Structure 1
Amino acid sequence: MKRKIILLITGCILTVVALTCIQGYFICNTYELKKKEVKDVIRKQLLAFEDDPEFIAIEDACMEKSRDFVKAHKGNKNSKQDYFDYIKKNRDSLSVALSSIMDKKVNFKHKIGYSIYITAIFDNEGTKKDTVYLGKQLVLSNNIKSRDEFSLATGIWKTKISPSSKEDRDTYDIEIQSGRNYSFESLQKVILQEMIGLLVFSVLLITFVIILFYLSIRNLITQKKIADIKTDFINNITHEFNTPLAAMDIAVKTFELESITEEQHKNTIAIIKRQNQRLQSIFSQVAGASLSSQEIVIDNNIISSKEIEEIITDFRLSYPNITISHSIQTAVQIPMNQFHLNTILINLLDNAIKYGASEIKVTCNQTETFATLLIEDNGRGIPENEQKNIFEKFYRIEKNNLHNAKGLGLGLFYVKQIVESYKGTITVKSVENKGTSLLISIPLQ
C-alpha cells in the first residue's frame, strides 16, 4: 500500500509537470501568434501611411539634403561630420512634423515608434561605385522609443547630379539606401493584456488539478491509516480477550477435577472474578469508544480530596514496585461523577506504567474557577510528532512499527471524551526518554 501511494504521488507530480509544460508550450505559441498578428496589423498600417503625400514630402526633403551633402562632398566642401551635424540639427523639427502627421493620418491601437535610417550612400560614375557613407544614421523618428525595433522595409532613393560648371565632371548618379523600422512602446505588456484570460484560465486549471491530486492522495493516506488502525484494533482486542478467556478456561477445568481442595476452590473463584472484571473493563472501553462527549451522562457530584486519595491508594496496591506519590490540596472539590474520575485516573496511571514509568506523581489543586489534575511520570515519553494523535480513537504509539505495550488504543480517547463532556481541557507535554505530563482542567461551574 505504501508503495502504491509513493507511485501515485510520483505519477501525480509527473502529470502536473507534463500538464504545466503543455500549457506553457501552448501559451508560448499563442504569444508568438499574437505577436505576429499585432506586427502584421502595424506593418499594414505603416505601409499605407508611407503612401501619404505629406509623409513623402518629408522623406524627400531628407533625401534631397543627403543629395546636397554628396554634391558638396564631391567638391570637398563638406565632411561626413558636417552631414551628421546637419541631420542632428534638423532631426527634432522633422520628428515633430512626422508625429503630427502620424497622429492625424493613422489611428493606431498601440503606441508605435517609427524611425528612418540612412544606411548607405553611393556615388555611381559609370561602372565605378564609390561608397560615400556606410553605417546607420537616424534621420527621422516620431520620438517613441523601445528596446526592440522591427524592420518594416528598406528603400533605395536614386537621383542624378548634373555638372554645375565647366570645371565639374560629367553627370553622376546618387544612390541613397534607407531602412524603416517600427517598434512598440511595450509590446510584451500589450500582448499579455490580450492573453490575460488564457493565462488566468491556465493557472486556475493547474491549481485545480494540483488540489484534486492533493485531496485524492490525502484521502488515500487517510483510508490507509484507518485500515491499519482497524487491523491493529482487531489484533489487539483478540489478544486482550484471549488472556482472560484462557485463564477462565483453566479455572473451569480446575472445577472439573474430583479432588479439588477448599483452597483451590477459593483461588479458582478469585481467578474467575478477576478475569470477569477484566473482560467487563475491556468491554466498557470498547463500548465507551462509541460514545461522543455529548452522549456521556454528566453527574456533577462533588469529589473530595479523600476520595481521590482512595482511588490512587487502591491502584497502588496492584503495582507495589511502582512509586506513585500524590499531592492533593485538602480543600479540593471536583464537580464530577466518581466513576468518571476513577476512569480518568486509572487510565492515565495505567498508561504511564505501560510506557515504562517507574515513578508517577499526581497533583490536584483548585483555583477560583478550575480544578486541575496533573499526572507526571518518568516513562519513555511521547515523540513530538505523535503527541497530536494520542487522543484519537484506536490510536497507539508505534516505535519501529511494533507495539510494545498492550491495549486497545481507547484509554486516552475515552479520557478526553469524559473531560470534554464536563467542558474541561486536557493537554500533554512530553520529552522522549524523559517523561510525560498530562494536565486536566475542569471548570467549577
Structure 2
Amino acid sequence: MKRKIKYLIWGCSTAIIALTAIQTYFIYNTYILKEKDAETLVRAELTRMESEINIDSIRNDWFTQAEMLVRTKGAEAAAAFLSRGSPAISRQVSAYIRKNKILEKYKTTYEVIIHKVSLQGDGSVLNLNNKRWFANGVVNGGHQLILHDLISNSDADGALVRNFNSRSTFTIHGGSSSILREMLGLLIFSVVLLTVVILLFYFSIRSLITQKKIADLQTDFINNITHEFNTPLATMGIALSTVRSQLLLMEDNGISSNGLNVLDRQYHRLKKLIDQVVTHTGVTGQLVLNKVEIPLLDFLEKLLDDFQSAHSGIELIRKLKEVPKEILADPFYLTTAITNLLGNGVKYGGTQLIVDVMKQEDRCRVMITDNGIGIAQADISNIFHKFYRVEKGDIHTTKGLGLGLFYTRSIAGAHGGELSVQSIPGTGSTFTLIIPLA
C-alpha cells in the first residue's frame, strides 16, 4: 500500500509538471501570436499614416530645398540642413500617432533614418551617413522593425543630391503590457485551473493516506479482539470436552445431550467466525468454498432451532413447505449468511421474523422479513459496504463492526448467487438471498 501511495504521488507530480509545461507552452504561443498580430496592426496603421500625411510629397519638397541650398550656399550648408532633419514632419507624425488608438495603445515609435546621401557641390562630393530625418521620438532600445526602405540612385546631369538611401523603422514599446492585459483572463483561468488540479491531487492523496491509516487501525483492532476471544474460546472448548466425557459416564436423559450439541455447534461456529473475521477484514479476494450436498430442510430446521434457542423472545415464523430437497453449498458459509440476516432483523428492532424458503427454477430463494425499524433509501446502497454502519435515529446504539452484510453478500457472490434488500423505514425489511441449487 505504501508503494502504491508513492507511485500515486510520483504520478500526480509528473502529471502536474506536464500540465504546467503544456499550459506554459500554449500561453507562450498565444503571446507570440498576439505579438505578431500587434506588429501587423501597427505596420498597417503606419503605412496608412504615410499615405494620409503624404510623406512622398513632403519628402520631395524637402529634397528641393536641399538642392537649392547646394546651388546657392554650397554642400556644407545643405549638409547642415539635412543633419538637422525635419521638425515639421516629426510634429505631424507625433500628432497622428497620438490620435491613432492602435499606435497610441502600443506606444509606437516611428523613425526614418538617412543611411546615406551624396551631395555634389563646388567640385567636391560630401557624403552623409546615418542621419535622423524625422521621428516621433527617440528609439533607444526595443525590437526595431523595418517598415520599408527607400533607395534612389540618381546620376542625372544636374542632380546635386545623389545615392539617397533611407529606412523607415518602428518599435512597439507598450506591446508586452498591452498583450498581457488582453491575456489576463486566460492567465487567471490557467492559474485557477492548475491550482484546482493540484488541490484535487492533494486531497485525493491525503484521503487515501487517511483511509489507509483507518484501515490499519481497523485491522489492528480486529486482530486484537479476535486474539482476546481465542483465549476464552479455547477454555470453552476444553470445558465442552470435559462435560461430554462426563456425560458418557452418566445416564443420558436426552436434554443434556441436546443442549450440549447446541453448545458444541455454536462453539465451532463462533471459532470459525472469528477466523473468518481475521481473514475477511484483511483480504478482499474471493472466498474459498467447500461445497457439499446439503439436505436443505434438515439443515434449516437445525439452524432455526439454534437461533430460536438463543432468541426465545422472538416470534419465528417458518415457511418451509417448498424447500428444495438438496442444495450444493458450503454449510459453514451458508449457515453464517442466514444467521447474519436473522441476527440483523433482531438487532434492528424486529420482534417477528418470517423465513420463507422456496425453489425458483434452478435456484433456492431464502427470504427473511422482519418488522424492525427499516432502512432509509439513502443508506440501502451503502449497507453492503465493508465497515459501513447507519448512524441515524436509534441505530447508533446497535453494536457491531459493519461487516455482517458485506460478508453475507460476499458469501452469496462466492456461491454464484446474490443478496438484495427491500425496506420501508418504520415498517421493516426483507432480505432475499438467492443461491444456485447446483
Q: Output the TM-score relative to the length of structure 2.
A: 0.50
